[in-house]
Amino acid sequence: MKLIPVLLTALLLAQFTFSQTGKDIVSTREIERINWMEFRDAVPSKINTVILPTGTLEPHGVANNGADNTAPFAMAKTIVPRVNALIAPTLPYGITGSMEAYPGAFQINEAAYRPFVKQILEGLAKNGFRNIIVLNGHGGGQTAVLQAVAAEVAADRKVRTLVINWWSFASDETKAVFGEDGGHAGWNETAFIQAIDPTLVHPERYKQEMATPYPPAGTWSAVPFPSSIGLYQKGQGYPRFDQAKANEYYKKVTDKVAAFVNEIIGKWDLAGL
């Protein structure tokens, strides 16, 4: 019964801190764009949460190859006023997997990626952040690595970490807005990018044959995957380029993520962790 008042108090405090005297705490919420004196004065006394966007470069149907970076960075910029956080520079290269053969794709193997990510998270902890939120834009093997490393850093550095795969976390919003499931570079992800910047999406290049449903477990496997649009459910998730629905989806997803981050931080605080 005490949780709701605690969460509301935390949220109101964050909103008050952000808008105090009509000015923000820092000149920008992006770490790479503030100087060391601003950082020193804000972290951790006024801001103790940081968002790290992670992604990779790989094909996304008729959206940009960097969609996995574009989405979490835009989301981070949208939600920082509500979670009172700073944004760390996006980690744009990742474990691409079965689409690395496509033009413009990059692959970082786990042996290189894992220690690099760990040092980034350790650096964020060293600089005073108590809550480290990884907003991940790319799944596959990258998700497992991020979750494992985040758990290690939380235990070793006595900080609190949260890894969110936004498209999976928002699957209920995908079905609510579009009436069906989505896919990699499907209607949901393409719409999210379309809402951020319509110039990054090119409907004139789209053909339905560019999409392939992902195979049921144990049926077949192909490398490279034959399509850069992978559907979660057969017959669902084909891109349709509806700007109004794209804008609605972006708002619902970012609202959901912001509320969840505040909820988790509130529960950490309530538990005294």
Q: Which of 204, 270, 266 is nearest to 10 (CA)?
A: 266
**Rounded mean pLDDT, 95-112:** 96
Distance CA 239, CA 207 (A): 10
Phi (first) and psi of residue 46, to 5 degrees? -115, -25
Q: Is the dihedral of CA 149, 155, 157, 160 positive or negative?
A: positive
pLDDT > 80? residue 75: yes
- What tens digit of pLDDT does each residue of 22-68 get? 468 999 999 999 999 999 999 999 999 999 999 999 999 999 999 99
**Rounded mean pLDDT, 108-125:** 98
The pLDDT of residue 14 is: 47
Phi (first) and psi of residue 118, to 5 degrees? -60, -40
Q: What is the pTM of this model?
A: 0.91
Left (φ > 0), alpha (ψ -120 to 50) or beta: where does 27 sit? alpha
